[in-house]
Structure formats: structure tokens, C-alpha cells
Structure 1
């Protein structure tokens, strides 16, 4: 419609030069109006695009926060279950085994009983930093098994200052298998051989 009016005005201007200024002014006004409308449209489009981008970022942030919270809750639950399945050494005792005739062969034992099957390894640690694997009887322990760690033989120069006890879940030939899903090493062959549960025991003065 605007185009028709402009053409009509143009034809009129050709017949009457006095209206030329009016036609030019009208065309400028129409062009200005179209420019203003286009600018407003572009601004609205840009604002809509920015709003959409903000909404997308907010949704992404919310999703990431929810995922992190879920992961943290899962980790807390796994660690709680890990602690619940750990060996209980609260009733452990120190004993001196005098079965050998030679007192130099008498052995200091760290003895405890467990409520579930474990695979166990004991490492003696001396004051100078030396480390040595200690005898454990039995190495594979089941429900209610009494375990004895040979910490020292009296003929030795000096006993270790501490003992590291390494435990892993153990699947017995008979009985219900079990595991801990926390992600720590599941066996001595898993990773660098670190224990699934590690307990450090200070060795008392053995007299």
C-alpha cells in the first residue's frame, strides 16, 4: 500500500513540481519508520536470544549442581558402608607365646577375632624406617576366626615400633561372598597393593 502511495505521489509530482518536496519528505518518513521498526525488531530478537542463552546456562548450572550433590551423597554413603564393613580390633590383645623351649624363640603375638572373612597382611615398621612383612596365622580368615600376628621373636635385636595391618574382602570357599563397593583396592593384586582397610598398631614395650 505504501509503495502504491509513493508511486501515485511520484506521478503527481511529475505533473506538478510543487509537490516534489512533499513526496521526498514522505519517502524519508517512511524509510525512517521502517528503519526504526527494523532496529526495534533486531533488539527484541537479540534480547530474546540473550534470554534463551541465560536460561540455557542456568539449566546447565542447575544440572551440574544436582549431579555434584548426587555424587557427593553417593560418596558419603559408600564411605559409611566402607567403615561399617571394616574389621573391629577393639578386643585385640597382646600375648607372649612360650611354646618354644628356648626363650629366644618366644613370640609376641597380636591377637584378635573378626566377624567376617578377610584377607590380611601385616607389615612391621621399625624406628629407622625399615619395613618387613610379618607372619600372620591364618592369612585368610573367616567368621569368628582368631588371628595371630607374630610381631616379634624375643631373640631379635629389637621389635618393630608399629604394625600396619592390611585387610581386603575375602571370598571363602564356603559361605556367602561379600565385597565393598567404595572403590578402594579389592585385593593385594589391585593397584599398588595398598590395603582396602589399613590399621596402624603401636607396639607396646614388650618385656
Structure 2
């Protein structure tokens, strides 16, 4: 009996190997728990990074859409500004042309013979006309083929309502037709005080003075050369 009790006590006591196994197992459990904790934290951080990245991508898409809309709005604004500027320029051009036409000399006048100051048997073929304001006036007569022209002398009136006189041709008593076919009168606003004329301006942007050479007139009109059939001395003095 004593032998049986001793054997039972000997078999129930844990050995050092058993204690070591228990410790190792406990450490393994603790390590696994710590690893699981950090793995979960890493997973949560990764989820947060993914969410932040998704939010950043969404914000970038919104910013891109806003930028695209801004570009479109800027283009529309530039186009509207261009249309407004063109419309304003068109209105200004219409007004300037209206003023230009308002200042344009009205075509009028008549042909007559006047006495010659040096030759009693000669007369001057003269064209006279009236203007409602002062101008710089140049006159040229052209032949039938337009290849030959002559500059005609122009005498401004002494009074505002008097005639402008264009001395076109020295006409001898044996003449029956003129050497010229057409008279061209060219007009500009007077840019300097000449005689009675006072300077004024037309702001339409066209040529303001004759310049050099055959420059374009600011206004002009043409009349056919038509010598009178008879010499009316009283008319020529009027």
C-alpha cells in the first residue's frame, strides 16, 4: 500500500519540462495577441489612408470640374466682351459716317462765260457754285480720254453767300467746243485759317488735307463741262 501511494505522488507532480511548455505556450499566446493588435491597427490605418485617398481624388475631380467651368465662363465672357466692343465700334462708325455725310458739300452750280481781263475778244469759261460752309477746294478738268488733266484756279467767295469761282478755260471767239469733258471738285476741311476760312474738322478718319501727289479727297463731286450756248454779260456780272 505504501508503494502504491508513493507511485501516485511521484506521477502527479509536474516536471520542469511541463512548466517550460506552459510558459512557452503563454508567451506564444501573448505574442499572437500583440501581433493581432498591431495588425488590426495597421489595417485600420490602411483603411483610413484609402478613405483619405478617395476623398482627395473626389476633391481633385471637383476642382477639375470647377476649373473647366471657369475656363468656359472666361471664354464666354471674352466672346461677350468682343461682341460688345464690335457693336460699339459699329455704332461709332455709323455716327462718324453720318457726320461725314452731313458735312458733305451739296452738288450744285452753273456754267457761264465771263469777260476776259486781258483779251477783249476772249472769254473765260467759268463754273460757279455755292457752299454752306468753308472748305479747302481743288479743281481739275479732264479730257475725253482721261489721260490729260489740268488744274483749274479756284477763287473763294468774299462773303459767305457768294459764289465760288472755278476758272476752267480761256475761250477764244472762234471756239465752238471745250477741250475738257469733266470738271472734278475735291474738298477738305480747312486745317488752317486762309483768308476768311476758319479751321474745322471732320472726325470720320478720312484724309484731312491734299498731302502730296494725287491723294484721295475727303469729299468730291464731278460735273460735265457744258459751255453755255450764248454769252450773257449781265449773268456773268451777277
Deviation at residue 38 of structure 1 after TM alignment? 1.3
Contact 2:137 2:185 in 1 (8 A): yes
Question: Which sits farther off after the overlay, 37-46 or 132-141?
Answer: 132-141
Counterpart among 76, 81, 106 of residue 123 in structure 2: 106
Residue matched to 1:55: 73
* Conserved? CA contact 1:107–1:153, under 8 Å: yes
Residue 158 (structure 2) pairs with residue 136 (structure 1): no
Equivalent residue, structure 1, for 2:188: 168
Normalising by structure 2, we get a TM-score of: 0.65
* Contact 2:153–2:166 (CA under 8 A) maintained in structure 1: yes
Q: CA-atom RMSD, angstroms?
A: 3.3
- Secondary structure of 1:136's aligned partner: strand
For 1:25 and 1:141, the matched residues in 2 are separated by 108
Name the CA shift for 1:89/1:194 in 2 (closer, same or farther; >3 Å). Answer: same
* Residue in structure 2 matching 1:178, options 192, 200, 208: 200
Structure 1 unaligned regions, length at least 5: 1-11
Q: Secondary structure at the match of 1:106?
A: strand
Q: 1:196 aligned to 2:196?
A: no
CA distances 1:79-109 after superposition (whole Å, capped 9, x unpaired):
111111121223x11223354533xx43332
Residues 36/203 of structure 1: CA separation in 2 closer, same or farther (3 Å cut): farther
2:103 counterpart of 1:85: yes
Q: Which has the larger radius of gyration?
A: 2
Task: For residue 77 of structure 1, give the secondary structure of its aligned residue in structure 2.
Answer: helix
Asked whether the equivalents of residues 185 and 222 of structure 2 are also in contact (C-alpha less than 8 Å), the reply is yes
1:68-83 equivalence runs, <5 A:
68-83=86-101
Q: Give the drift of 1:120.
A: 0.6
CA contact (8 A) 2:178 2:227 kept: no
Length-normalised TM-score, structure 1: 0.73
- Counterpart-to-counterpart distance in 1, 2:213 and 2:72: 45
Larger RCO, structure (CA 8 Å, separation 6 or more)? 2
Query: Which one of the candidate residues 12, 34, 53 is aligned to 1:15?
Result: 34
Unpaired segments ≥5 residues, structure 2: 1-30, 230-238
8 Å Cα contact 2:124-2:168 kept in structure 1: yes
Whole-Å separation in 2 of the counterparts to 1:175 and 1:158: 32
What are the superposed Cα offsets for residues 113-157 of structure 1, whole Å, 9 maximum, x if unpaired?
111111110122223232434323315776223122233344588
Q: Is the 8 A contact 1:119 1:140 kept in 2?
A: no
